[in-house]
Structure 1
Amino acid sequence: MIDAWTLAAVIIMALVALSLVSFSLMVASSETAVSRVTRASLNNRILEVQTDDSIGHLAKAKQIDKIHKVQRLIVDRYATAGSCAFLRITCNVFDGVLVAAIAMTLCSPLWGALVAGAVFALAVAVLSVMLRPHSTEDSKPVDVMLHYARIVSLAVALTPFSKTGEERKARRRAGAGDLSDDEELEKIQRDQGRAMVDRLVESSDFDPEVGEMLRNVLTLSETLTREIMVPRTDMICVDSSSTLEQFLQLCSRSGYSRIPMIGDDVDDLKGMVYLKDAVRAMAFNPGARKRKVTSIRREPMLVPESKPVDDLFHQMQRTRQHVAMVVDEYGGIAGLVTIEDALEQIVGELDDEHDRIQHSKPEKIGKGKWRMPARTPIAELEDIFEVDIDEDDVDTVYGLLTKLLGRVPLVGMHAVTRGLKLTASDTAGRRKQVSMVVVEPDGLDSDSEEGRFDDNETEDEAKDTEQNDR
């Protein structure tokens, strides 16, 4: 028979155990919320409180004081989370001890008391873990931290040793790149997003292509503009002294509709010239063909080469620009980027009905005449025609043709070297780069004819054409 004192002790231990269970669940919620609260969200909450006329001055002061307390807690975010985790585990252990003590008080055998305590402690631990991701604090971490600010402050005060581990983590973060607290939180959230996408893609009813696009979206902020731009060596430019007729011919040959206008060189950028502006100017006024392209110039959009692609995409959306000039750290022109370059980072290569697929290997199309992909190595060209090109600074047929011409080749342009005539014959891709080069014996003396121009035009005419094609 249990006397009154024993029953009172059992009731007290049961109430303490239930209190520890409740405390453990609150600490578990705070442990999740503290990793999701940012300084920006707390600053926004302060502004909301200060501008809320429905709250009295005393209530505002109390809420702002509580927000300041949360701000102090997230200064050492990982130390705070460690304190919460330590107290949660400690509460679970004491719950098991109390349940075991209650069982022994009720005359249970030792092994039964131990099993009861262990089972209860495990049940509370599982309950705290299961409730944590499905509760409302995941979507409102600021509210949770404000609600449990005093409890979390108590947890931090009771576990001063947690800051020791935080100091080691801070030193490792400083050695790894000195990320700020919010930047590291953003990195963690990106990693969690990738893991979530991977789990979605693994499901059998999820489209793999959609999964790939989701992965690409998550990497936009890590991709810089310099990685997707057209380098300045591959840019087609128009000289500011050219006429609208010459500009129209250049657009027809290159396949571009938006071309940078330059002065003495690429770094002397004058503006952008659009094909639709030229067509509009000449459609009902044939005499406008002789007007200079400066009459239809537009102000160029300039972006730094270190700009993340997601910021670039949003900026081009806001300004309604489809093309931008990329500037390096010294103020020079590094290249050109379009809004489709940014889109391709998400959906992949965009081809239209005019794009042609490049052949994977050189193809013989006549007696001694070969059609080669632009990226064919020079070594393969040497093997086919049994010649020694001896060019150390270029590796492909396209690079060789570009070096011989001294500029970006367009379809129809050709040059001769080592008795071989190289002709740009085809374009592919949205950027309209030369994709195929026809190589054939020229039949002329290579030493005197290397790099010569078309038979039907003089060298002076070729130079004039080159000047206009810029």
Structure 2
Amino acid sequence: MTGVLVLLLTLIMLVGLSLAGMLSAGEAALLRVTRASLTEALAEAELGQSPDPERAARIRRAQALVVDPTAIVASFALVRVVSEVVAIAAGTLLVQQAIPGEGVPNELPVMVIALVVGVVVGVTFVRVSPRALGFRRPVAVLIALVGPLTGVSRAVAWLTRFSVPRYDPSPPTEAELRDIADRVGESSAFEESDRELIRSVIELGGTITREVMVPRTDMVTVTADTSLDRVLRLLLRSGFSRVPVVGESVDDVVGVAYLKDVVAAVHWPVGEGEGGVPQPSLRPASDVARDAVFVPESKPIDDLLREMQASASHIALVVDEYGGVAGLVTIEDLLEEVVGELTDEHDTVLVQEIEDLGDGVFRVPARLPVDELGDLFDLRLDDDDVDTAGGLLAKVLGKVPLAGSSVEVGGVHLEAERVEGRRKQISTILVHRTEPVGEPDDSNGGLDQHDHRDQKRDQKEVTS
């Protein structure tokens, strides 16, 4: 009777360990495998050089397990724990049969030996090795064990039905996606820049166009009757490759003028061949303006990015709820929300310090406060409307300043020198004093006749 009992306990222990190891590998494989990898394996089994219908059928059964992995893994875990407990109990009884004697002196060695053997065997043959195999080769393990794994999941599905949340086919919320990004980002395989990229992609759907657009006040535009040679000069000075064409106001958008179209119209006018002599064209900007794309300011930028990509549009006019133009947005604006600031070979780095160029000329950052600009020349340049040197230049000029734009105000000459960034904003300004110390001329409110001539000339040029 003792021999039969030992054989039975040994069999129970081996079956329990084998089942626990198999389920441990299945858990790891199910958590690791992706639906795309199973789809590729199915296509190879059905359409490969040597089709295997039996393997294809097993892959389809494996795909059924992946549909609701949370509940399936819970089923495997329940059966695995029961198998481990049964195997440990059988092993303990085997040890008790092998050690002679009765009472406490017999039970204590049995407990110690059973504990050591159970930990070594359980960790090695149930947890470590099978899990490592499941993580390394999830597709192969899942396909190989799909039969018993499916049987286990069906046998105990009713036990986990009420304790495990069922699979929800609805799209995850933004908070759930952000939590997924945080969990993925905790992996040491991702650097901080990769984590930021993942977060940016997830948060893309929660950002609307109004948050990334170039506001109406910063838009550079041309009127419909502006000659193409003037438009070309504006594009070259500003660094833009596209500029909106407007009628009586910014809300009256005629279209968008593209640099390539303007260059072609100016250098190869109608009636001349490719070898003709380039001549400035007097045709209006409206002749080459392409139809503008309009988008609402409340549109999510992930939808806008896909829409602009599908329509091959790089620029769109943003309209508010009343139908007025609120600004414009480019495809670069949207991409910057994912990858950060984009610059090209023409962009320069923003100068943060004041540079003395000699002969009383200084290079200052456009963001230099107005009062510090005045202190540079022992002048008082207070202005309630603007705070920076760039703002003062734009206010006196009456339009968005471009490289080379200059004004004189309060005895100081300001000239826009460099543009910075994709939006071509002024980054540095050259400044020098225009009047002797102690002889300020405020008869024109800080502006001399030369300034007024510049303003009149600017008013005749392209407005922005």
Q: Give the TM-score normalised by the residue count of structure 2.
A: 0.72
- Residues 26-175 of structure 1: matches in 2 within 5 Å? 26-32=22-28, 71=67, 73=68, 77=70, 80-107=72-99, 109-110=109-110, 111-123=112-124, 124-137=126-139, 148-159=149-160, 162-163=163-164, 166=165
Query: Paired residue for 1:236, among 205, 220, 223?
Result: 220
The 1:188/1:426 distance shift into structure 2, 3 A limit, reads: closer
Q: For residues 60-459 of structure 1, what are the structure 2 equivalents within 5 Å?
A: 71=67, 73=68, 77=70, 80-107=72-99, 109-110=109-110, 111-123=112-124, 124-137=126-139, 148-159=149-160, 162-163=163-164, 166=165, 180-181=171-172, 190-191=181-182, 193-196=184-187, 198-199=188-189, 212=193, 214-215=194-195, 217-222=197-202, 224=204, 230-285=214-269, 289-301=281-293, 306-308=300-302, 312=305, 319-321=311-313, 323-325=314-316, 327=318, 330=321, 332-339=325-332, 342=335, 346=339, 349-352=342-345, 354-366=346-358, 369-384=361-376, 385-391=378-384, 394-443=386-435, 445-446=441-442, 448-450=444-446, 455=451, 457=453, 459=455
Higher deviation after alignment, 254-263 or 326-335: 326-335
Give how far 1:301 is off: 4.8
Structure whose CA Rg is larger: 2
| 1:400-455 residue CA offsets vs partner (Å, 9 max, x unmatched) | 32233343111232344444443212223444321111233444544733577854
How many angstroms does 1:268 deviate by? 3.7
Kept after mapping to 1: 8 A contact 2:227/2:281: yes
Q: Is the CA contact 1:370–1:438 (under 8 Å) kept in the aligned structure 2?
A: yes
Partner of 1:176: none
1:322-373 per-residue CA deviation (whole Å, 9 max, x = no partner) reads: x222636746444332449737954864331x44444321123356543211
Distance 1:66 1:351 in 2: 49
Distance (Å, rounded) in 2 between the aligned partners of 1:448 and 1:141: 85
Secondary structure in 2 matching 1:27: helix
- The one-letter code of the counterpart of 2:329 is L
Q: Which has the higher helix share?
A: 1
Q: Does the CA contact (< 8 Å) of 1:98 and 1:117 recur in 2?
A: no
The alignment yields a C-alpha RMSD, in angstroms, of 4.8
Cα 1:129–1:435 shift into 2, 3 Å: same
User: Which letter maps to 1:263?
Assistant: G
DSSP 3-state at the match of 1:449:
coil
**Are 1:22 and 2:13 matched, yes or no?**
no
State the alpha-carbon separation in 2 of the partners of residues 315 and 386 from structure 1: 52
- Post-superposition CA distance 1:370-397 (Å, at most 9, x none): 3211122334324434525143x64432
Partner SS state of residue 352, structure 2: coil
Distance in 1 (CA, whole Å) between partners of 2:421 and 2:121 is 66
Whether the aligned pair in 1 keeps the contact of 2:62 and 2:143 (CA below 8 Å) is no
For the residues of structure 1 that align with 2:419 and 2:238, how far apart are their CA atoms?
9
Give the structure 2 partner of residue 10 of structure 1: 6
Is 368-377 or 410-419 further displaced after alignment?
410-419
Change (3 A) 1:432 1:100: same
Matched residue SS, 2:281: helix
The CA distance in 2 between the partners of 1:271 and 1:453, in whole Å, is 37
Distance in 2, matches of 1:81 and 1:378, equals 66
Distance between the aligned counterparts of 2:410 and 2:114, measured in 1? Answer: 95
Which residue is equivalent to 1:51? none
| 8 Å Cα contact 2:29/2:137 also seen in 1 | no
Shifted more, 264-273 versus 334-343: the winner is 334-343
1:327 and 1:386, CA in 2 relative to 1: closer, same or farther beyond 3 A? same
Q: 1:98 to 1:184 in 2, by over 3 A?
A: farther
Offset at 1:63? Answer: 9.9
Preserved CA contact (<8 Å) 2:227 2:283: yes
Between 1:88-97 and 1:216-225, the stretch displaced more is 216-225
Q: 2:33 & 2:172 partners in 1: Cα distance?
A: 11
Kindly tell me: are residues 375 and 13 of structure 1, through their superposed partners in 2, closer, same or farther at Cα, counting changes over 3 Å? Answer: farther
Against the structure 1 CA distance between its residues 14 and 254, is the aligned structure 2 distance closer, same or farther, given a 3 Å change threshold? same
The alignment covers a number of residue pairs equal to: 429
Closer, same or farther in 2 for the Cα pair 1:142/1:361, shift >3 Å? farther
Instruction: Report the AA paired with residue 380 of structure 2.
Output: V
SS of alignment partner, residue 398 of structure 1: helix
For 1:143 and 1:327, locate their aligned partners in 2 and report how far apart those are by CA, in whole Å. Answer: 56
Query: Hey, what's the Cα distance between the residues in 2 that align with 1:346 and 1:147?
Result: 46
Q: Is the 8 A contact 1:302 1:327 kept in 2?
A: yes
Contact 1:84 1:156 in 2 (8 A): no
Whether the aligned pair in 2 keeps the contact of 1:13 and 1:98 (CA below 8 Å) is yes
Residues 256 and 133 from structure 1, CA distance in 2 versus in 1: closer, same or farther, beyond 3 angstroms? Answer: same
**CA separation of 1:68 and 1:112: change in aligned 2, threshold 3 A:** closer
Kept in 2: contact 1:38–1:182 (CA 8 A)? no
Runs of 5+ unmatched residues, structure 2: 45-50, 101-108, 270-277
Q: CA deviation at 1:297?
A: 1.8
